[in-house]
Amino acid sequence: QVAVITVDGPSGSGKGTICQLLAKELGWHLLDSGALYRLTALAARHHGVELDDVEALEVLAAHLDVQFKASDNGKGVQIVLEGEEVTHAIRNERVGEDASVIAALGPVREALLNRQRDFAGAPGLVADGRDMGTVVFPSAELKIYLDASAEERAQRRYKQLISKEPGASLDDILNDIKARDARDMNRAVAPLKPAPDAVRLDTTTMTIDEVLQAVLDEARH
Ligand code: C5P
């Protein structure tokens, strides 16, 4: 059995950044599980599948033709869906919305389960998501739950967005974050919540570096 560190938490809690840095620092594999939900949402759009067509979505999720390639410049990964580069396309807000809608469907989550577990490999895996510690890797050696106030998470997203979208509104982003939280936390299957044995970190007033150090300290315990 390989070592697994799970990092769960709501949108904008800094999981993505922390997991990338953590995986790099440890030299471990990285699972961005949100990307799989986003990819399923994008595939649905490409194939004209409605977001309430559970059977068709389950088939799409089970047969997702996706490759994660180390990108040429050495920075992160390139994501290819059915032969098309979608690395940036899946980060779109609308794709994120769609992803959170289909993520509430049990059969879709079930179809993605083994694909997620297949990312585990020596020397270890950093798994980023909402249910990594509760459902996908329940026996992980270390479970982290990152949180931050909704206002702080909206601020972080706003700062990321404003250079690309000068018209972005902080209020709209805050509302989106609250809606996404509600959907992720209140769904019947695999709702977002800390695993009972998770180490919880409130990152509202922490820098990325401080969070990374705190997680590394836990990992080296
Ligand atoms: O983390 P990210 O924003 O990329 O995830 C997109 C959506 O996918 C989330 O809002 C959530 O609804 C869903 N998701 C999930 N379980 C995961 C990862 C993501 O339900 N493990």
Q: ipTM of the assembly?
A: 0.98
Confidence of residue 160 (pLDDT cuts 50, 70, 90): confident
Ligand 1 atom nearest to CA at 38: 6
- For atom 18 of ligand 1, the residue with the nearest CA is 34
CATH number for the domain spanning 147: value is 3.40.50.300
Confidence of residue 44 (pLDDT cuts 50, 70, 90): very high
Most confident by average pLDDT, 68-82, 88-102, 103-117: 103-117
**How much is the pLDDT for 74?**
59
Does some domain include residue 210? no
Q: What is the mean pLDDT of the chain?
A: 94
DSSP 3-state of 28: coil
| Residue with tokens 């020397």, as numbered in its chain | 123
Residue 116 Cβ contacting ligand 1 at under 6 Å: no
Domain that holds residue 155: 3-204
E strand or H helix at 70: strand 66-70
List pLDDT tens digits, range 166-204. 888 999 999 999 998 999 999 999 999 999 999 999 999
Q: Nearest 5°: phi and psi at 106?
A: -50, -50
Does some domain include residue 212? no
Does some domain include residue 214? no
Could you give the CA distance from residue 85 to residue 59 in angstroms, rounded to a whole number? 21
**How much is the pLDDT for 1?**
60
Does some domain include residue 41? yes
Confidence of residue 16 (pLDDT cuts 50, 70, 90): very high
Nearest to 8 by CA among 135, 145, 139, 176: 145
Confidence of residue 98 (pLDDT cuts 50, 70, 90): very high
DSSP state of 89: G
Does some domain include residue 190? yes
Task: Measure 129 CA to ligand 1 centroid, in angstroms.
Answer: 6
Residue 34 Cβ contacting ligand 1 at under 6 Å: yes
Count helices and strands (H / E) in the chain.
8, 8
What number is the average pLDDT over the span 74-97?
A: 90
User: What percentage of the chain has pLDDT greater than the value 90?
Assistant: 86
Does some domain include residue 218? no
Residue 11 Cβ contacting ligand 1 at under 6 Å: yes
Query: Which class for 202: exposed (0-12), middle (13-18), buried (19 or more C-beta within 10 A)?
Result: middle
Which of 105-114, 149-158, 161-170, 181-190 shows the lowest per-residue confidence on average (mean pLDDT)?
Answer: 161-170
Count of domains observed in the chain: 1
E strand or H helix at 100: helix 93-102
Task: Measure 37 CA to ligand 1 centroid, in angstroms.
Answer: 6
Could you give the CA distance from residue 35 to residue 100 in angstroms, rounded to a whole number? 11
Q: Nearest 5°: phi and psi at 23?
A: -60, -40
**How much is the pLDDT for 61?**
98
Give 152's Cβ-side CA count (13 Å radius): 13
List pLDDT tens digits, range 51-78. 999 999 999 999 999 999 987 665 678 9
Ligand 1, residues 40, 57, 100, 135: which to mutate, most atoms within 8 A of Cβ? 100
Maximum Cα–Cα distance across the chain: 49
- For atom 2 of ligand 1, the residue with the nearest CA is 34
Residue 131 Cβ contacting ligand 1 at under 6 Å: yes
Nearest to 192 by CA among 106, 104, 118, 79: 104
Ligand 1 atom nearest to CA at 190: 20
Residue 180 Cβ contacting ligand 1 at under 6 Å: yes
Cis ω for the linkage preceding 107 (within 30 of 0): no
Indicate the pTM of the whole model: 0.94
Could you give the CA distance from residue 85 to residue 57 in angstroms, rounded to a whole number? 21
Task: Measure 128 CA to ligand 1 centroid, in angstroms.
Answer: 9
